[in-house]
Structure 1
Amino acid sequence: MRIMTETTPTALWNDSSTLSELTTAIGWGAVGATCNPVIALAAIHSDLPRWQARIAEIAQERPTATESQIGWQVVEEVSIDAATYLEPAFAEHNGRNGRLSMQTDPRLHRDAEALVDQAEHFASLAPNIIVKIPATKVGIEAIEEATYRGISMNVTVSFTVPQAVAAGEAIERGLTRREADGKDVSTMGPVVTIMVGRLDDWLKEVVARDDLGVDPEHLEWGGVAAVKKAYGIFTERGLRARLLAAAYRNTLQWTELVGGDIVLSPPFAWLEKFEASGHDPRPRMDVPVAPEVLASLSTIPDFVRAYAVDGMTPEEFDDFGATRKTLRQFLEADADLDRIVRDVLIPAP
């Protein structure tokens, strides 16, 4: 992976905040990391006795705090721990890399003001925090305002070209407003995620549900095609946010995206596979997806919605299948975090 990071503009981040995984990834050239409700749970479970003890301490320090408030304090502490390991890269890259992504509470997804306020709080926890807000209709509003307030964004719950472009343009508006008011943007490092594997997962589900005759191999290319298309649009429009590919399901989501000025953020298990492969991928971001693959994918109505820049309006983002599935998963992770806290506060008899 170091060859990629040293010879191309493509950056590597680690889709995990578990410290053992993060330190290994940094050794392989990673210059960023991420946290979301699912990842935070994994980090807590990786050192559960420590965090159970800390939960008990927080409960004593804050006797009126709810399960959720205690759980989110733990998430903050997990994130601050991880952010420390990225401080050297943050200084080296002047804020463009070296960041730890913290995700806003998915229970706030309907309230733009609450999302921005929590983003400000998270950004205050460490200088190299980048904050994740979902690419929903409300989220797009919050992304512009948070950017204007000087918070570097990592747009999440984003799977499609129209979501990525709408988010990139919202960030651009926020940066432009900030510059117009004479405020600094030089150390901000916004990124717009496309969850490539989750788009593929949804397309496979639609194909099975609707009994569509699509070549299974072609279904491995949906997320890759979306990133390549969005990358061309970002470049053409001069959008300053970088794209970030996450939620990996196959090797193409690595090899086909090398060479672009983007971030690749595979889960640690995939990063291990890539590192062990010995493969030295050549730049292929500018190599288009084969026409026959695009033609095959275009028989799936939801791929057309995901691939065309005007395939969905912001009002339609919330109803896209991958959006609904992912928001529900993040909400379930919130509930799981509450249960961890509850088991400490009220042990089962």
Structure 2
Amino acid sequence: MKKNPCVELHELGQSVWLDTISDGLIRSGELKRLIDSGTLYGVTSNPTIFKNAIAGNKDSYPDEIMRLASAGKSAGEIFDELSARDIVRTADLLAETFRRGTGRDGFVSLEVKPSLAFDTDGTIVEARRLWKKIQRPNLFVKVPATPAGIPAIEALIAEGISINVTLTFSAPQYVTVAEAFKRGIDRRIGAGLPLDGLHSVASIFVSRLDTSVDKELEEKARNAPPAEKDRLLSLRGKAAVANALHVWEEYRSQFFGPGYEDRREAGARPQWLLWASTGTKNPAYSDVKYVEELEGPDTINTMPRETLDAFLDHGRVRGNRLDPEIESARRTRQALAEAGISLQAHCERLLSDGVKSFAAAFDEMMAVIQERSVALLQRR
């Protein structure tokens, strides 16, 4: 019988999380089954995921929406209650995993409102509110790695609130995230505050970069001479992993080198590296590309359900794929630069697009909840 590849990944030091959440997944017992089988060690959510869970199925949450709408709750208040309920139930399903884990297992993530992406003070206030509302030690509050998010991350870590830093794309951006985390840790150490219940991950978005860079490569190749065209097209599908391995190098330097030893001795854990956006968007590529090519220790991979199912069906664990590919990734980044491709420019654009996408998803979800509330009340 084939061994569960997610169990094999965990033995390697990489935890598999599920990048989706819904009432149906919880009520059906499917989420519990995936956790109990050793397949899943955490769950992530975002505004798009909640939009799909609520708006994607008109039969989702009817009793809860009716009850809350009847009590005069607004669309925003209704979402607040629905999301909190799903997050609490998921946190409780993961509680045992969290208790016996290594500090990177057993978590569920809930994001601050996308409208706060450029509001430091608003992000801090909202993160405190969510932390207090959920009241689970295995909660991550998600904060985007925007310029306004960075000081919020430092402040929240200093307060002892566990943070999942989302929408991280480039290595320089990642370094600002890691340094904000460390400043927050240092503030707690300086104040004599405990570190044992404090956790953090930095979520690096992967596959979106290939989608963006591949498009530019194809545009450049369109009118290029044959040899140059072949060279450009040969770089397709390589930018995302090459960029992720640049982040991996920085991660090892930030948290596993001599500069972190004093913090570790004081009880601080690393800010774990999490591979996000690992679903394959180009059907020409393997549907487990961003799982198999990013296998490695001291990391997390949060997968969409389709990617998880594909990996369970035909994924293979081949050991640490990160360190052995560092030099190859450097050559790829150099080749991309020589071709006139700026990974930094792509990453900056993807950050902007990601903020806009989450904001649009949140607004669409609010409209659906409002529409459904009115319809249910009229049917009473």
Question: How far did residue 185 of structure 1 move?
Answer: 1.3
- Within a 5 Å distance, the mapping from 1:62-77 to structure 2 comes to 63=72, 65-77=73-85
Pair 1:216–1:188, CA change in 2 (3 A): farther
The equivalent of 1:30 in structure 2 is 40
Q: For residue 160 of structure 2, give the secondary structure of its aligned residue in structure 1.
A: coil
- Aligned partners of 1:243 and 1:131: how far apart in 2? 16
Pair 1:6–1:326, CA change in 2 (3 A): closer
Question: How far did residue 293 of structure 1 move?
Answer: 2.9
- Aligned partners of 2:323 and 2:372: how far apart in 1? 52
2:242/2:332 contact within 8 Å kept: no
Pair 1:145–1:190, CA change in 2 (3 A): same
Question: How far did residue 23 of structure 1 move?
Answer: 3.4
Matched residue count: 335
The equivalent of 2:265 in structure 1 is none
> Taking every aligned residue pair, what percent have the same amino acid on both sides?
24
2:178/2:254 contact within 8 Å kept: no
Q: For residue 191 of structure 1, give the secondary structure of its aligned residue in structure 2.
A: strand
Q: How high is the TM-score relative to the length of structure 1?
A: 0.87
Report Cα offsets for 1:219-271 as digits up to 9, x if no partner.
32222122221222222232621111011225332122212311111111101
- Aligned partners of 1:215 and 1:25: how far apart in 2? 41
Which of residues 259, 277, 280 in structure 2 aligns to 1:247?
277
Report Cα offsets for 1:158-179 as digits up to 9, x if no partner.
1111111111110111011112
The equivalent of 1:269 in structure 2 is 306
Structure of larger gyration radius: 2
The equivalent of 1:88 in structure 2 is 96
Whichever residue aligns with residue 244 of structure 1, its letter is: L
Unaligned runs of 5+ in 2: 223-228, 261-269, 281-286
* Aligned: 1:321 with 2:349: yes
In angstroms, what is the RMSD of aligned CA positions? 2.4
Q: For residue 316 of structure 2, give the secondary structure of its aligned residue in structure 1.
A: coil
* Aligned: 1:280 with 2:284: no
The equivalent of 2:160 in structure 1 is 150
The equivalent of 2:336 in structure 1 is 297
The equivalent of 1:225 in structure 2 is 242
Q: For residue 296 of structure 2, give the secondary structure of its aligned residue in structure 1.
A: coil
Question: How far did residue 35 of structure 1 move?
Answer: 0.7
The equivalent of 2:264 in structure 1 is none
- Aligned partners of 1:330 and 1:202: how far apart in 2? 18
* Aligned: 1:236 with 2:253: yes
Q: How high is the TM-score relative to the length of structure 2?
A: 0.81
1:140/1:167 contact within 8 Å kept: yes
- Within a 5 Å distance, the mapping from 1:1-349 to structure 2 comes to 1-18=5-22, 19=25, 22-26=31-35, 27-44=37-54, 48-61=58-71, 63=72, 65-93=73-101, 95-124=103-132, 125=134, 126-208=136-218, 213=229, 215-216=232-233, 218-238=235-255, 240-248=270-278, 249=280, 250-289=287-326, 290=328, 292-298=331-337, 299-304=339-344, 320-347=348-375
Q: Which moved more, 1:149-158 or 1:18-27?
A: 18-27
Pair 1:190–1:217, CA change in 2 (3 A): farther
